[in-house]
Amino acid sequence: MDYQFTIVVPVYNEEDNLERVESELLEYSKKASLPTCILFVNDGSKDRSQELIEAICSRNSNFNYISFVENRGLSAAIKAGFDHTKTQLVGYIDSDLQTAPEDFNLLLEHIGEYDLVTGVRANRKDSFVKNMSSKIANGIRRAFTHDGMDDTGCPLKVIKTEYAKRIPMFKGLHRFLPAMILLQNGKIIQIPVQHFPRIAGQAKFGLWNRLLGPLSDCFAYLWMKRKYINYEVGKKG
């Protein structure tokens, strides 16, 4: 099949969620608005995640995987997924499935006009502390980037692959994907999507990761913005 859309699924110690991930993504691929394949990126899991991923891929032709030698973090996993994508469009979703694969179709409706479409989690089903820390972190990041996005941490995005592959990712920069598309003079939009409580597994981000860490990343983004090289070829011979 000629796939047009790749869904990247970063995985780190998610053995309790992976069978549900398989079921929901398989169901979504049957009603996806574009021919869709799935790419697991195992970020050095220490549980049975790799064993389960290999079993899932062996019984589903549109599922594939890459596996890191050691844990390198979410940004590295997302970048690896982008690097190994061969379709014109790429998206990603977290393996905790707190967002719904079916909502990719909502984002795909807008990708023709835009270069990145990101979800905004409506009626978030997280704790008060998690919600407030995310709101504060998003407010700080928005003040630095002026990207107008309310929820860059939403793990449901669709990007034109040519833009995704040009993002100079570094640790923590997954929170700045919309801003990095703007640096390429791309167009971005946010669309409300569903949100659900985590059913299994452990959250990978605490207060430091969600609030204090992103503050230091803002300064890294400002440095990159000043140094970013962007050009357009007008003619060649």
What pLDDT does residue 35 have?
97
Extents of the domains making up the chain:
5-227
Within a 13 Å sphere around the CA of 181, how many CA atoms are in the beta-carbon half? 25
Compute CA distances 121 → 69, 81, 149, 154, whole Å. 32, 23, 12, 6
Residues in the chain, how many? 237
Nearest Cα neighbor of 39 from 107, 76, 91, 104 is 91
Q: List the Cα angle 214/194/3 in 5-degree steps.
A: 90
Average pLDDT over residues 157-173: 89
Which residue do the tokens 């994907």 mark?
177
What pLDDT does residue 221 have?
77
More confident residue, 185 or 223: 185
- Hey, what CATH topology would domain 5-227 get? Spore Coat Polysaccharide Biosynthesis Protein SpsA; Chain A (3.90.550)
Written as six digits, the tokens of 68 are 């890191």
- Confirm if 191 and 119 have CB atoms less than 8 A apart: yes
Nearest Cα neighbor of 38 from 26, 23, 54 is 26
Average pLDDT over residues 196-205: 60
- The whole-angstrom separation of Cα 145 and Cα 155 is 19
Average pLDDT over residues 147-153: 75
pLDDT bin (cut points 50, 70, 90) of residue 219 is confident
- Confirm if 156 and 118 have CB atoms less than 8 A apart: yes
| 219: amino acid identity, one letter | F
Mean pLDDT value across the chain? 86
Q: List the Cα angle 167/40/55 in 5-degree steps.
A: 170
Q: Examine the pLDDT at 107 and tell me if it is beyond 70.
A: yes
- Confirm if 111 and 182 have CB atoms less than 8 A apart: no
Nearest Cα neighbor of 106 from 120, 95, 94 is 120
- The whole-angstrom separation of Cα 222 and Cα 202 is 32
- Confirm if 188 and 181 have CB atoms less than 8 A apart: yes
Average pLDDT over residues 72-88: 95
Q: Examine the pLDDT at 3 and tell me if it is beyond 90.
A: yes
More confident residue, 232 or 112: 112
What pLDDT does residue 22 have?
97
Could you give phi then psi for residue 89, rounded to 5 degrees?
A: -125, 145
